[in-house]
Amino acid sequence: MKLKKGDNVLIISGKDKGRTAKILKSLVKEKMILVEGINMKRKHVKPKKEGEKGQVVPVPAPMQISNVKLVCPKCGKATRVGYKIENGKKNRICKKCQSQI
Ligand SMILES: [Zn+2]
């Protein structure tokens, strides 16, 4: 998984194309991510107590990781993620500015 929670991403397809937002959660197995305020779906919440009304709340639905690009925190550009092995450790780097991210 090249992207992780807290990363800023640029949406490159779908109705939210062109927006940038933060990853709330990455679903590693499914190769999907939840992005803050992006791909919102309405979720019906059942009343917790008797006499309460059910609610409809907007929640982000999982989206394909291929629909986003990482925004590099160093150079601020949407970039591909690369890896560099250094002292036996795998570090994530920005392909544009080569910074460790
Ligand atoms: Zn960069």
pLDDT block averages, 10 residues each, the chain of length 101 = 94 94 95 95 90 90 95 97 94 96 93
Listed by start position, the domains of the chain span 8-71
Residues recorded for the chain: 101
Centroid of ligand 1 to alpha carbon of 54 (angstroms): 45
Residue with tokens 């090249």: 2
Centroid of ligand 1 to alpha carbon of 98 (angstroms): 6
Centroid of ligand 1 to alpha carbon of 64 (angstroms): 22
Q: Which of the following CATH numbers is that of domain 8-71: 3.90.1150.10, 1.10.287.130, 2.30.30.30, 3.30.1490.20? A: 2.30.30.30
Q: Which residues lie closer than 8 Å to 21 by C-beta, 6 or more apart? A: 8, 9, 11, 35, 36, 37, 38
Q: What is the pLDDT of residue 75?
A: 98
Helices (H) and strands (E) in the chain, counts: 0, 10
Centroid of ligand 1 to alpha carbon of 25 (angstroms): 22
Q: What is the pLDDT of residue 11?
A: 97
What's the pTM? 0.85
Q: What is the pLDDT of residue 53?
A: 87
